[in-house]
């Protein structure tokens, strides 16, 4: 059943006619040719499709495009401003935090969400003191918070220092 | 995926009216489970009524010190709420133990309660499953069932029309059952409230029904009465993060003069619904807060356990989890 929508993606409004069954991931990749988010499992289990929706990380494979409305969709592409890579992009390169890179745009969007959530004082399953307002983004915290992003190349080890370096340079408590 | 019509309504009453006129329709919250099941062909609604923006996203105070949680509050926001973290740590811990950061940002409180089992026979449309296709039998009973139920199942042979050994997957619901939460519902006949413990069903003679809600009834909020005692959630799973529970526990304990005055216990991963351990609670009240008492309470709850071929390990796992968690809580009280 076709429906008219307008997606706001990486700062640009994109009018589209989509079947109601279209996910945000498929609208981005197949209709708007934005291949930044990747289709991995297509069931919310691998995180390769992670984008930011009004600044919050979500699995775009489980979001129906018709439900997005006016929300701002930001892909890993859109994190780069004026052709200049985001600090997370640069840190992933500097720390060799990927091998094939397929899952990397999702990892980068997820890491952007992790930094915002830590700044807001949100706890995680490994936070010792839930009553404390602040969060110290230890390596264990980064591991837990990035656990919704799976990589089969076994490059996990370098992702943690890549995210940690950006946390430190952007004033998130460590 | 079956074709469907996508509908929005101006308010919750309009959404309820829309669904009342669509017998094969469904409400859409965050969609983290429903959209997945639609892709798999397990859920086949012909109309989706989007309620995510309609139901309340507020957490408000109740007069007794409890909280009212709007059904649209995302799981991530609920876990991060300062009042929840301070007054109901068991709930914040349960939420944080569930899913991933991405899923918790999208999933809603109401939707979390209504998520469906992750039993592999339920989610695979080529396999028999009485929950998905009533009367087709149960593939899990003699198949892969390491993660399945040990309490309250219906076992009448793998071809039995009522056999179901699936577990309820929510961590949040286990904590809320221990907290005596009350579910507020709006339906075609108006508003009603029910204890959360009465929302989820055992399979009985109709495993296809997870809950006691009628078609068109929408969860609008969950009320948490004041707790006033320390609480804790603990989850055992196959990997350190982002996995469903093998066994989990929500516990709250009040000890005075070394004696258990009040206790709340619920188990996850062991039954078709969050399992309130009423037998263990009954045994424990008035007993000294010792390891022997906690073990006796756990044994009394698990007497009725009927494990399957490959999930017998859940019985000692549940017993040890009850004992360890209550010991931790009683030590924290000293």
CB A75 within 8 A of CB A10: yes
For residue B118, the model assigns a pLDDT of 98
CB B247 within 8 A of CB B171: no
pLDDT tens per residue, range A2-33: 999 999 999 999 999 999 999 999 999 999 99
Tokens of B90: 């068991």
Sheet containing strand B182-187, strands side by side: B59-61, B67-70, B218-224, B182-187, B190-195
- The answer to whether A125 contacts B97, with C-beta atoms less than 8 Å apart, is yes
Residue range(s) of every CATH 3.30.390.50 domain in chain B: 231-332
% of chain B exceeding 90 in pLDDT: 99
Which residue in A148, A149, A160 has the most chain B C-beta atoms within 10 A of its own C-beta, making it the best mutation to test that interface?
A148
The Cα–Cα gap between A49 and A17 comes to: 21
Tokens of B106: 């999208």
> Residues B33, B35, B39, B41: what is their CA dihedral angle, to the nearest 10 degrees?
70
Interface of chain B toward chain A, CB-CB under 8 angstroms: 1, 3-6, 28, 31-32, 35-36, 38-39, 48, 50, 52-53, 76, 79-80, 82, 85-86, 89, 92-93, 96-97, 99-103, 105-106, 240-242
Question: How many CB atoms within 10 Å of residue B267?
Answer: 29
Name chain A contacts of B103, Cβ cutoff 8 Å: 44, 59, 62, 148
CATH match of A2-79 with 3.10.20.30? yes
The Cα–Cα gap between B239 and A41 comes to: 19
- The answer to whether A57 contacts B4, with C-beta atoms less than 8 Å apart, is no
Rg (CA), chain A: 16
CB A23 within 8 A of CB A41: no
| DSSP 8-class letter at B232 | E
- For the full predicted model, state whether its pTM sits above 0.90: yes
Interface of chain A toward chain B, CB-CB under 8 angstroms: 1, 3, 19-21, 23, 42-44, 47, 50, 53, 56-59, 62-64, 66-67, 69, 110, 113-114, 117, 120-125, 127, 130-131, 133, 143-145, 147-149
Nearest to A47 among B38, B86, B100 (CB): B100
CB A110 within 8 A of CB B102: yes
Residue range(s) of every CATH 3.10.20.30 domain in chain A: 2-79
For residue A111, the model assigns a pLDDT of 98
Sheet containing strand B5-7, strands side by side: B5-7, B47-50, B26-28
Tokens of B83: 């009042």
The Cα–Cα gap between B36 and A49 comes to: 14
The Cα–Cα gap between B10 and B53 comes to: 10
- The answer to whether B92 contacts A122, with C-beta atoms less than 8 Å apart, is no
What are the E-state strand segments in chain B?
A: 5-7, 26-28, 47-50, 59-61, 67-70, 182-187, 190-195, 218-224, 231-236, 247-256, 259-268, 275-276
For residue B278, the model assigns a pLDDT of 98
Letter string b/e over residues B218-231, b meaning 16 or more CB atoms within 10 A of that residue's CB: bbbbbbbeebebbb
Q: Provide the CATH number for the domain formed by B5-51 in this structure.
A: 3.30.43.10
> Phi and psi (nearest 5°) for B48?
-115, 125
Residue range(s) of every CATH 3.30.43.10 domain in chain B: 5-51
pLDDT tens per residue, range B143-174: 999 999 999 999 999 999 999 999 999 999 99
pLDDT over 90 (residue A152): no
Write down how long chain A is.
174
For residue A46, the model assigns a pLDDT of 97
For residue A101, the model assigns a pLDDT of 92
CATH architecture of structural domain A87-170:
Orthogonal Bundle (1.10)
For residue B56, the model assigns a pLDDT of 98
Please report which confidence band the pLDDT of residue A155 belongs to, taking 50, 70 and 90 as the band edges.
Answer: confident
**Across chain A, what does the average pLDDT equal?**
95
Residue range(s) of every CATH 1.10.150.120 domain in chain A: 87-170
pLDDT tens per residue, range A33-82: 999 999 999 999 999 999 999 999 999 999 999 999 999 999 999 999 88
pLDDT tens per residue, range B176-199: 999 999 999 999 999 999 999 999
Q: Topology of domain B231-332, per CATH?
A: Enolase-like; domain 1 (3.30.390)
Write down how long chain B is.
334
Burial (CB count within 10 angstroms: exposed 0-12, middle 13-18, buried 19+), residue A81: exposed
What ipTM, to 2 d.p.?
0.98
Residue with tokens 């009603």: B192
Please choose, from the candidates B269, B271, B310, the residue with its C-alpha nearest in 3D space to the C-alpha of residue B140: B310
């Amino acid at each position: 059943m076709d429906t008219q929508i307008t997606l706001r993606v990486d700062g640009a409004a994109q009018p589209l006619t989509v079947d109601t069954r279209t996910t945000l991931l498929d609208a981005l990749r197949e209709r708007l040719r934005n291949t930044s988010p990747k289709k991995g499992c297509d069931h919310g289990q691998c995180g390769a499709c992670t984008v930011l929706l009004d600044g919050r990380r979500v699995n775009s494979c489980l979001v129906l495009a018709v439900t997005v409305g006016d929300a701002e969709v930001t892909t890993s592409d859109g994190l780069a401003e004026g052709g200049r890579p985001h600090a997370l992009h640069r840190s992933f390169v500097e720390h060799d935090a990927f091998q094939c890179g397929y899952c990397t745009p999702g990892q980068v969007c997820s890491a952007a969400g992790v930094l915002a959530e830590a700044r807001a004082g949100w706890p995680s399953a490994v936070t010792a003191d839930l009553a404390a307002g602040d969060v110290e983004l230890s390596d264990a915290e980064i591991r837990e918070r990035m656990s919704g992003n799976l990589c089969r190349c076994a490059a996990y080890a370098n992702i943690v220092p890549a995210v940690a370096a950006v946390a430190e340079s952007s004033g998130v408590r460590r | 995926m079956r074709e469907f019509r996508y509908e929005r309504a101006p308010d919750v009453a309009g959404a309820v009216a829309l669904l009342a006129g669509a017998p094969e329709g469904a409400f859409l919250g965050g969609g983290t489970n429903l959209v997945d099941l639609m892709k798999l062909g397990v859920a086949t609604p012909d109309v989706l009524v989007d309620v995510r923006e309609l139901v309340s996203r507020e957490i408000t105070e109740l007069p007794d010190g409890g909280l009212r949680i709007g059904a649209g509050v995302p799981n991530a926001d609920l876990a991060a709420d300062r009042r929840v973290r301070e007054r109901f740590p068991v709930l914040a811990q349960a939420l944080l133990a569930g899913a991933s950061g991405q899923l918790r940002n999208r999933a809603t409180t109401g939707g979390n309660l209504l998520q469906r089992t992750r039993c592999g026979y339920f989610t695979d449309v080529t396999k028999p499953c009485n929950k998905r296709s009533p009367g087709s039998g149960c593939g899990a009973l003699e198949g892969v069932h390491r993660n399945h139920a040990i309490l309250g199942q219906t076992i009448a042979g793998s071809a039995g029309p009522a056999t179901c050994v699936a577990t309820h997957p929510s961590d949040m619901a286990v904590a809320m059952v221990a907290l005596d939460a009350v579910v507020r519902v709006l339906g075609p006949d108006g508003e009603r409230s029910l204890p959360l413990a009465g929302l989820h069903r055992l399979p009985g003679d109709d495993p296809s029904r997870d809950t006691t809600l009628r078609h068109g009834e929408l969860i609008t909020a969950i009320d948490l009465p004041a707790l006033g005692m320390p609480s804790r959630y603990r989850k055992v799973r196959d990997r350190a993060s982002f996995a469903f529970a093998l066994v989990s526990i929500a516990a709250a304990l009040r000890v005075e003069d070394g004696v258990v005055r009040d206790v709340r216990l619920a188990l996850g991963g062991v039954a078709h619904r969050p399992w309130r351990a009423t037998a263990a609670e009954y045994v424990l009240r008035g007993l000294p807060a010792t390891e022997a008492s906690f073990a006796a309470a756990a044994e009394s709850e698990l007497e009725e356990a009927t494990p399957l071929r490959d999930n017998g390990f859940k019985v000692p796992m549940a017993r040890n989890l009850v004992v360890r968690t209550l010991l931790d809580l009683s030590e924290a009280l000293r």
